[in-house]
Amino acid sequence: MSTVIDPKRPTPRRDPSVIGDALAQVGACGLFLLQLLASVPRSLRYFKETIRQVWFVGAMSLAIIMTCGLFVGMVLGLQLYYVLSIFGGTAALGTVVSLSLYRELGPVVTALLFAGRAGTSITAEIGLMRATDQLAAMEMMAVDPIAYVATPRFLAGIVAMPLLACVFNALGIFGAHFVGVSWLGLDNGTFWSNMTSSVDVWKDVVNGVWKSVAFGAVVALIAVFQGYTTPPTSEGVAYATTRTVVFSSIVVLALDFVMTAFLM
């Protein structure tokens, strides 16, 4: 007896290959990056749009970045005070907190928060513009949607991320200071002087800024790419938004390892 699903009947779609699809995505994303970079000179015509996007992805993310920075700093203050007190080294609290924030936590946590707050909104916005033919309408009005929509958001991510990471670091140190000095009774002068004597501007602060510039580029690229290439359906936009967060988180953490290894 024949069955409705006939294995010999040619399937209308090709067999899904997880690795092949993933590689194709990476390749397409790389080509998209080249398109973005090539359109940077043209998108300078839309400089106002870039500024608007910096405000949108940067200033609008400030509340979440500041709140999280404060709490991360306070937790660091508590945990490290406890660990350092075992060795009688609580005087080093300021040093340890600021080094962990500048070198690792600031750039990485900011990038993860940025992916969730700004990356998803970029993806959903561009995805809906695709689904409602707004990108096609721009094409028909002889306006290049890459230069007008995609590149300003990409540049805004690169500009906004280091600034947000700096705010995150400042609030984190403030939180640790609050816990260590105001609450647990550490000496104020010790906290600051140990920090300033052991934190190096170039090796610690600037390296952290480089990291957040790279993370900003990566997260914004993934967000814009996912939005730009999403299938124009509500399901497609939903998946694209999820993929933005998942891929950004993985790539940020992996890139963090690579950059740490090189910048050490």
Q: Which is nearer to other proteins, 241 or 249 (CB)?
A: 241
**Which own/partner contact pairs does 36-40 have at CB distance under 8 Å and 24+ positions apart?**
36/146, 36/150, 36/151, 36/154, 36/221, 36/224, 39/144, 39/146, 39/147, 39/150, 39/151, 40/151, 40/155
Residues 32, 39: Cα–Cα separation, whole Å: 11
Cβ 140 to other proteins, closest distance in Å?
Answer: 4
3 binds other proteins (CB under 8 A): yes
Cβ 82 to other proteins, closest distance in Å?
Answer: 50
Task: Show contacts with other proteins in window 104-143 (CB under 8 A).
Answer: 128-129, 132-134, 136-143
Cβ 58 to other proteins, closest distance in Å?
Answer: 18
Task: Show contacts with other proteins in window 7-26 (CB under 8 A).
Answer: 9
40 binds other proteins (CB under 8 A): no
Q: Which is nearer to other proteins, 9 or 261 (CB)?
A: 9
34 binds other proteins (CB under 8 A): no
- Residues 157/223, Cβ–Cβ less than 8 Å: yes
1 binds other proteins (CB under 8 A): yes
CA triple 33-214-255, angle to 5 deg: 95
Q: Which is nearer to other proteins, 2 or 197 (CB)?
A: 2
Residues 82, 98: Cα–Cα separation, whole Å: 16
Cβ 127 to other proteins, closest distance in Å?
Answer: 13
Residues 21, 37: Cα–Cα separation, whole Å: 24
